[in-house]
Amino acid sequence: MNKALEILQRRGFIQQCTDFEGLSRAMDEGPITFYVGCDPTGPSLHIGHMVPFFAYKHLVSAGHHGIALLGGGTARIGDPSGKTEMRKMISYDEIDANAERFKRQLDAFLKFDGKTAYTANNKDWLANLNYIEFLRDIGRHFSVNRMLSFEAYKIRMETGLSFIEFNYQLLQSYDFLELYKRYNCRLQIGGDDQWGNIVAGIELIRRVEGAETYGLTFPLITTSDGKKMGKTEKGALFLDPEMVSPYDFFQYWRNVDDRDVKRFLLLFTFLSEEECEQLTAPDKNINEAKERLAYEVTKLIHGKDEADKALEGAHAAFGGSGNIEAMPTLTLPRQRFEAGYPVLDLFVDAGLAPSKSEARRLIQQNGAMVGGKVWTNEKQAVTLADCDCAEYCILRAGKKRYMRILFE
């Protein structure tokens, strides 16, 4: 087996391949150009998007050439794969703005050099397609019966599949054909929910160009308790630091289930397989492995400085050491504390409870702490005398969420 494919397989990336032996031979013969696509339907990538891009980095490191395809065209329709209902339509301007954000985030992670790692946008060839010509030249190669045999369409047929979504597979297949013509791209990689679309693209290229291309899919990552990877109490684990702070990003990884640590080290870091084994050996402290996982992933996504700050903040919050200034921090008016800050309002304003009822439940369950002490009276206001010192007040919600309140 090709060495790069071996690495991906050992680290747990590979779910399915259209032709393992053929792909391995093609990769052994020299650098192969591959692509992975993502539709900019939101303002930020989230960690659920990233498994194919971690594989992308492994493949580029092995000497292959990667294209990150931004779906500025396909996002105008929406992929039904893995969805139980039709995507909400968003404006073209919003899609373009999202695509630019995605491009910046991917560049920070993948380090585009324009030679071995670069981007393309399918808006360039999809936005102005002539529909009649497209149906004559491309649509005639697709069987409706064959399309409906794929799982993505089967599921949606039960809940309702719009005609606009039904066209999505044709457009993604056309992407592969265009990338083959423009860049000699011979491999598409992606999540396993893309299997039907990938196979359709391979068949289209075979019919139109008579060429052999390949597809490689990765498992859709779930946690050991069956939850979708990257889901938090507040929503998805976004890469944008304005949507999920580097500290909260760090804490997500620091608090993963013990059973997931080794698998996530292999998938979401570039530590050697040997080091991943050593960190998770039975005689090692699993919390040290979790901290290393959190640090490495945060460093890859947000940079070393932010990873260092998150680590220091975690040590200050949970270990009594580290730099307290690195903790998540919010500034609130000193006068509110001087007058007596209603505790339910305080926990909501600090972002530690989504509502007063949730803050009340937190207090009733002895999960709220103010100034290092458990707060038990939901009607008692917080004053400066209850705080850690004259400069700040540290709040805690449960075991894992902290906020340092500075007074202004």
Contact in structure between 66 and 35 (CB atoms under 8 Å):
yes
Q: Residue 227's CB: how many other CB atoms inside 10 A? A: 11
83 annotated active-site? yes
240 annotated active-site? no
- Number of C-alpha atoms within 13 angstroms, CB side, residue 184? 7
Catalytic residue (one of 11, 18, 39, 41): 41
Chain position carrying tokens 């399918």: 122
302 annotated active-site? no
Q: Residue 135's CB: how many other CB atoms inside 10 A? A: 14
356 annotated active-site? no
Q: What is the distance of C-alpha 370 from the center of its chain? A: 33
Catalytic residue (one of 116, 232, 329, 380): 232
Catalytic residue (one of 11, 49, 64, 336): 49
Strand 65-70 relative to strand 33-38, pairing:
parallel
Catalytic residue (one of 18, 105, 172, 280): 172
**Would you state the structure tokens that stand for residue 226, as one six-digit string?**
């069956």
Residue partners of 41: CB distance under 8 A and separation at least 6 = 75, 78, 87, 90, 95, 98
Catalytic residue (one of 58, 83, 101, 360): 83
The DSSP result for 211-254, as a single string, is ---EEEEE---B-TTSPBTTEETTEE-BS-TTTS-HHHHHHHHH
Contact in structure between 75 and 288 (CB atoms under 8 Å):
no
Instruction: DSSP letter for 87, please.
Output: P
Catalytic residue (one of 87, 315, 356, 360): 87
CA distance 330 to 309: 16
172 annotated active-site? yes
The DSSP result for 377-390, as a single string, is -TTSEE-GGGSSSS
Catalytic residue (one of 19, 96, 193, 240): 193
Classified as helix, coil or strand, 134 is: helix
Contact in structure between 200 and 172 (CB atoms under 8 Å):
yes
Catalytic residue (one of 111, 228, 234, 284): 228
49 annotated active-site? yes
41 annotated active-site? yes
Characterize 351-368 residue by residue with b for buried, 16 or more Cβ atoms within 10 angstroms of its Cβ, and e for exposed.
bbbeeeeebbebbeeebb
315 annotated active-site? no
Catalytic residue (one of 18, 39, 46, 302): 46
231 annotated active-site? yes
Catalytically active residues, by annotation? 41, 46, 49, 83, 87, 172, 193, 228, 231-232
